[in-house]
Amino acid sequence: SLASTAITCFTRGLDLRKETEDVLCPANCPLWQFYVFGDGVYASLSSVCGAAIHSGVITNAGGAVRIQTLPGQENYPAVNANGIQSQVLTRWASSFSVTRSKHTALEAVGRSVSTARPSTGKRPKKTLDKKAGNKDCKADIAFLLDGSYNIGQRRFNLQKNFVGKVAVMLGIGTEGPHVGVVQASEHPKIEFYLKNFTAAKEVLFAIKELGFRGGNSNTGKALKHTAQKFFSLENGARKGIPKIIVVFLDGWPSDDIEEAGIVAREFGVNVFIVSVAKPTTEELGMVQDIGFVEKAVCRNNGFFSYQMPTWFGTTKYVKPLVQKLCSHEQMLCSKTCYNSVNIGFLIDGSSSVGDSNFRLVLEFISNVAKAFEISDIGSKIAAVQFTYDQRTEFSFTDYTTKEKVLSAIRNIRYMSGGTATGDAISFTTRNVFGPMKDGPNKNFLIVLTDGQSYDDVRGPAAAAQKAGITIFSVGVAWAPLDDLKDMASEPRESHTFFTREFTGLEQMVPDVIRGICKDFLDSKQ
C-alpha cells in the first residue's frame, strides 16, 4: 500500500508485523522516555520513533519513516546521538533499520498500530487469545502497594485505580503475565498471590476490594517479605519467567530499604520503584536515607525507577510502565542459566594431546565461556590443568569480566605429562569449588580428556556430585567411553560427549551450553 500507518511514541519494532513497513511518527515525543538499543541497526525491542530520531532520519517534529526487519545480533552498542542515549544489549532475536519513507503519508489519522491491522473480512477468534493473555509479556509481578498513613485513604484509592489500569494493559492471562498484590504498612500483608487469578477482570475486582490498612510505611520490611515469600512455586511462580516487584511509594519509606534490595537481588527478583510525590527540600531532613530509590532498585541505571508527580492524572504513565515491565531482556536481576552458574573446566594437559590440539581445547573452552554473562554478581569461570599433577590456572574469583576470562584462557600454557583424572577431580572439588559452596550459583564441572586415566575416576566424580557439582565429560580420541560415563552426572547419556578428532570439539559447543541451561532450569526452585 502507499499509505503510512500512524504509530505512537511507544511502538516498538517488535510491534510491527511486516518485513518492510512505512509508518508515521507523531511530533513531540518525550525524548527521555525512549528506549533505544544499538546504533544504525536497532534491537526490535527499541522504540521505532526513538530509533528514527537517534539515527537522524527524522527530528522530534515526527514524520514518515520506513522500517526494515533484520535478523537478531549480539552486542548492540550504546551511542549518544540527536538527544537520545541508546543502550547496550547483549543479544536479541530480531532487529530493524530505519530509512526515510519514499512517499507521503495518506493514512495519517491518529490510529495506533495495534488498531491498524488489515481487516481479513472474517471476525478474528477473540476468545482463545483473551484467556491466554499477552504471550509476548511473560512475567510474574507483585505490586507492592503503599498502605501507610503517608498516603491516606483517598490517594490509596487513586493508587488502586492506577494499578488496575496497569494490570489491564499488561494483558494478564494463562500464558501472559500473572500478578499479585501485597500491601505495605506497619506489617506487610499479601492480599492475593500469582495463582489466584489469571484473568484481568478478576484481578481488577480483587484490587477494587482491597481495604486500606494505615500505619507506618515499612516498605523495606514489605519488600524483603515479598522477595522471600511471594514467588514460591506453590504460590504460583513459574519456572524461568522473570520475577518482578513494583514498589509504589508515596513520599519515602519509614524503614531501611537497602537490605531488602540486596535480598531481592539474591532471590533473582527485579525491583522497580514507582515514587510519587518525591520528598520536598523541606521534607528531606525526615528521610533516613535520601538514596532509597537507587539502593532498592535492581540496577541503578535509570530503567528501574519511575516517577509520577502526583496520583492525579496518571493515565499517561500507564503505558510506559507496562512497556518496562514487558521488556524481558532488561530484567537484569533475573536468574537465568547465563548469569547464575559457576563453570569449572578441568583440562587434560597430558603429552598425548600435543600443542596444536591443546589450542583447539582452549578454543572450545572460550566458546563455551563466551555464552555466559560473567560478572562479580553473575556467572563465574575457573580452569584447572592436570597431568599427574594439578595446576589452578585461575579460580572463580580471579576474573569478573568476560574479556579478562577469555584472555586468561588464551594465556594457559600447555604442561605435558601423565594423566591422573581422578586426583584432578578431587583437587578441583576441594580447592576450586570448595570456596563457592554456599554461593547462589549452580556449579558445573566440564572434564576434557583424551585418554585413559591412571587412577580411579568413579569415586572422585561421585564425591564431586555429592558436593552439588554437575559433571559433563568431554572425551577426545582415546578417551574410553566407560571412564567418560563413570564421571558424568545422571542421566549419563546427556552428560557425556565424545569426538574422534579435536577438530570435532567446535560442533559440541552449543550442545554443552544447552545441557548446562537445561540442568539449571530443572534444578531451579
Strand partners, 456: none
What string of pLDDT tens digits covers the 525 residues of the chain?
457 788 888 788 888 878 888 898 988 877 766 788 899 999 988 899 999 999 999 988 888 999 999 988 888 888 888 888 888 888 788 899 999 887 544 433 333 333 333 334 444 444 446 788 888 898 999 999 999 988 999 999 999 999 999 999 999 999 899 999 999 999 999 999 999 998 989 999 999 999 999 988 899 999 999 999 999 889 999 887 899 999 999 888 888 899 999 889 888 999 999 999 776 666 666 666 677 888 899 988 889 999 998 999 899 999 999 999 998 878 888 888 888 999 999 999 999 999 999 999 999 999 999 889 898 878 999 999 999 999 999 999 999 999 999 999 999 999 999 999 999 999 999 999 999 988 889 999 999 999 999 999 999 999 999 999 999 999 999 999 999 999 999 999 999 999 999 999 998 998 999 899 889 888 864
Say which residues have a Cβ less than 8 Å from residue 274's Cβ, sequence separation at least 6: 246, 247, 248, 249, 306, 307, 308, 321
**In sequence order, what DSSP letters do the residues of 151-166 get, joined into one string?**
THHHHHHHHHHHHHHH
- Give every strand in the sheet of 496-499, ordered side by side: 390-394, 380-386, 341-348, 442-449, 469-476, 496-499
- Residues 330 and 334: their CA atoms lie apart, in Å, by 9
pLDDT at 279: 67
Superfamily (CATH) of domain 341-522: von Willebrand factor, type A domain (3.40.50.410)
Homologous superfamily of domain range 140-330? von Willebrand factor, type A domain (3.40.50.410)
State the cell numbers at 490.
Answer: 545422571
The pLDDT value recorded for residue 317 is 93
Any idea what DSSP says for residue 310?
-
Write out the H or E segment, with its range, that includes residue 224: helix 219-229
**What residue segments make up the domains of the chain, in order of their start?**
5-100, 140-330, 341-522
The pLDDT, as a whole number, for residue 92 is 82
Q: Which CATH class is domain 5-100?
A: mainly beta
Topology agreement, domain 140-330 and domain 341-522:
yes
